[in-house]
Amino acid sequence: MKLKNAWPKYYKKGVVTHYCPGCGHGIVHRIVAEVLEELDLGKRAIGVNPAGCAVLAYLYFDFDVIESAHGRGTAIATGIKRSRPDLFVFTYQGDGDLSAIGTAETIHSANRGENICVIFINNAVYGMTGGQLAPTTLIDMKTTTTPLGRDPKYDGYPLHITDVVAQFPGVVYAERVAVDGPAGIRKTKKAITNAFKTQVEGLGYSIIEVLSPCPTNWKLSPVDSFKWVTEVMMKEFPTGVLTDKRPGKE
């Protein structure tokens, strides 16, 4: 179904997405399209999609997008940016893609300080494949593979991968935000804008972690899912700037 008079004018197609009601992906897609338009980056942008719920994001973005194998997003982005440094390159990855099978690629691209942007959607669960335990699943959180709740004795603790890479010298800008309401959405847009400008200015690696609701796998209503992000998830993953080495910000 086509949507008339959709904004932004460019870079986001006026079509209905496949995402579940209350999912945060649609919100972040729109933010990405808005920022690309406002910074006039869309005509030279290349996005790298993950395996996961956002695997079909190329159907919704009106700019060049490359599909990567599961977890390999930052490796693909590195190759693109090194071969075509004139392009604007970013990855869009979920918690399973980025912090499970893609841990090595994430860690080493950040450690090398590649001049790319990473948008990391954290909903604490494997969203597309049935709601299994993810590296970011909270303690006592029930999933299809932890029906009694995550037990750190057997399953380990939630992985704070953004906090880890934020310590690397090559990481210029890292921030955790949340699309849990209007104020959070505004902060998310500001953070993504800062990250995109970091690459445009040739400063190095940037990563924005976005806490995002997953009503279907959390078995909550959309409204309750947004509340859960604010009241529960943000206690484990506090929002805020993790590192900012841009000129004048240190």
Which residue ranges form the domains of the chain, and what is each CATH number? 25-244 (3.40.50.970)
Classify residue 7 as exposed, middle or buried by CB count within 10 Å of its CB (0-12, 13-18, 19+): exposed
| E strand spans, the chain | 45-49, 64-67, 88-94, 117-122, 171-178, 205-211, 240-244
CA distance 27 to 30: 5
CA distance 140 to 34: 37
Q: pLDDT (tens digit, 9 = 90+) per residue, 108-135?
A: 999 999 999 999 999 999 877 677 889 9
Portion of the chain with pLDDT greater than 90, in percent: 74
Q: pLDDT (tens digit, 9 = 90+) per residue, 73-106?
A: 999 999 999 999 999 999 999 998 899 999 999 9
Q: Is the pLDDT of residue 6 over 70?
A: no
Residue 61 three-state SS: strand
Torsion of CA 185, 190, 196, 198, to 10 degrees: -140
* DSSP-derived pairing of the beta strands 171-178 and 205-211: parallel
Q: What is the mean pLDDT of residues 128-147?
A: 88
For the chain, give the number of residues: 250
Q: pLDDT (tens digit, 9 = 90+) per residue, 190-203?
A: 999 999 999 999 99
Q: Is the pLDDT of residue 233 over 60?
A: yes
Q: Both tokens of residue 141?
A: 């959180």
Q: pLDDT (tens digit, 9 = 90+) per residue, 149-171?
A: 999 999 999 999 999 999 999 99
CA 53 to chain centre: 12
Check residue 38 and give its pLDDT.
93
